[in-house]
Amino acid sequence: MAAQALDGQYVLSGVRVLDFTWVHAGPAATRVLADQGAEVIKVESNYALAVVGGAAASTPYGLGQRHNWNAGKLSFSLNMRTPQGIAMAKRLVAISDVVAENFSGRVMARWGMDYESLRRIKPDIIMLSMSGMGRTGPWRDYVSYGQTLQAWSGFTYLTGFPETDPSGPASAYSDASAAMAGAQAVLLALIHRARTGQGQWIDLSQFEVVCSLLETLVLDVGVNRRGEAVQRTGNRLPHGDASPHGAYRCEGDDRWVAIAVFSDEEWNAFAQAIGGPPWAGDERFATAHGRRRHADELDRLVETWTANHSPEEAMHLLQAAGVAAGVVQSGADLADNDPQLRERGLFRQVPDAQGVLRTVEGPPYKLSLTPGGPLRGAPEFGGHQTYVTQELLGMSDEEIAQCAIDGAFE
């Protein structure tokens, strides 16, 4: 590979991915592959980078989203509005294992790079298409982003408190979950190709990925035939008698602890851990059903205890008693102060193209023999033009110069 030497710790070493993806879901999917040693060549354009905030490591998106989602990749700039740019892209297909894109259905076909066209270039190619709605059905050409996908799926409808309008989650969970599904699908296709020699097209619907996360909504529809019965419940579960179950104000400015108690055994452990206050012995709270029925009053009483403790103190006291409790953490808490993440090395520093150390996420799992993980940050825009044109495509100086004159590079 061009920029890093890989050893046995990288299980996808030798796999090449031609990455046309942009924004979040697609780049995060191919980042998973790059973490495990795949050579991911990110085909970039000025237009796409303008949408996501710029390419340079010094821009806000470069330091954050783009830098994180594209760590470990190579960057090759192409103007796909030119015949020469499209021709070079097709030459790269011929030497790649996977082509990934998350455009609407019309884009790759317009370039003559839909799956059937790619198969004629390389019969065993694997193509990952991560559209919002999938490539079939009446909504296949609809444009979507995370917030619209979450609204379509029912995620937004279920997020909020009973007395409020739907609020939706603050972040694009659809992108993050679709990224993991996309990477998983590519790995499955690679296994299938290793067994049969056949490539295939992966038609991923980000809409369907988010729908698959709503287990209680689907269960209610499938078993009770009453999907409309599932309502916004704030921090409380729509089913079962879990109580206390929520986020409780703690000592300090905007500090909270989440607590979840399901069984009578857990309730007894909770009551003992907080010192056995008289209200914990109230008959209303003697059973799980009673605690759920009187949840509003119970929440107020629980908060009389949590308000006198920091969230860290409350968490440790309850965890020591076997009660599920956790600090409601901010981004700073996660990145700077969380001892669990620090010990496991989720956030790590890797050098960018200038050698400056940048913080990115590592894999959220540990393989004992092939741990993988990023060795470098995101590439500078077009930072691997020479490697791709000369070493991979074998282009002469004259051919490269003519392509530049014709506007094939951006």
Task: Return the closest-CA partner of residue 129 out of 105, 97, 152.
Answer: 105
Higher pLDDT, 289 or 213: 289
**Position 213, amino acid:** L
pLDDT band, residue 229 (cuts 50/70/90)? low
Q: What is the mean pLDDT of residues 18-40?
A: 95
Residues 56 and 31 in one domain: yes
Is 35 contained in some domain?
yes
Residues 42 and 179 in one domain: yes
Residues 277 and 358 in one domain: no
Is 135 contained in some domain?
yes
How far apart CA 311 and CA 78 sit, in angstroms, is 51
Residues 25 and 68 in one domain: yes
**19, 97, 114, 175: the active-site residue:** 175
Strand, helix or coil at 16? strand
Residues 359 and 281 in one domain: no
Is 399 contained in some domain?
yes
Is 232 contained in some domain?
no
In the prediction, which pLDDT does 47 show? 66
Q: Where are the alpha helices (DSSP H) in 36-159?
A: 46-51, 60-63, 65-69, 83-93, 105-110, 115-121, 146-153, 155-158
Other residues' Cβ atoms within 10 Å of the Cβ of residue 347: 16
Residues 358 and 302 in one domain: no
Number of domains in the chain: 2
Residues 329 and 190 in one domain: no
Residues 347 and 321 in one domain: no
Sequence-ordered list of residues with C-beta below 8 angstroms from that of 196, at least 6 positions apart, any chain: none
pTM: 0.89
In the prediction, which pLDDT does 49 show? 60
Percent of the chain scored above 90 by pLDDT? 69
Residues 373 and 311 in one domain: no
Is 300 contained in some domain?
yes
Is 201 contained in some domain?
yes
Phi, psi at 374, each rounded to 5°:
-70, 140
How far apart CA 127 and CA 118 sit, in angstroms, is 8
Task: Name the residue range of residue 84's domain.
Answer: 16-212+342-405
Q: What is the mean pLDDT of residues 230-259?
A: 90
Residues 64 and 173 in one domain: yes
Among 311, 333, 355, the domain boundary falls at 333
Is 4 contained in some domain?
no
Task: Return the closest-CA partner of residue 2 out of 52, 51, 73, 66.
Answer: 73
Q: Look up 175 and say whether it is catalytic.
A: yes
Lowest mean pLDDT among 70-79, 164-173, 389-398: 164-173
How far apart CA 380 and CA 127 sit, in angstroms, is 25
Among 303, 333, 363, the domain boundary falls at 333
Residues 101 and 249 in one domain: no
Residues 36 and 170 in one domain: yes
- Which residues face 150 on adjacent strands? none
- CATH for 260: 3.30.1540.10
Is 106 contained in some domain?
yes
- CATH for 94: 3.40.50.10540
Among 333, 363, 388, the domain boundary falls at 333
In the prediction, which pLDDT does 5 show? 47
Through-space distance between the first and last CA atoms of the chain, rounded to whole angstroms: 24
* pLDDT one-digit tens code per residue, 272-322: 999 999 999 999 999 999 999 999 999 999 999 999 999 999 999 999 999
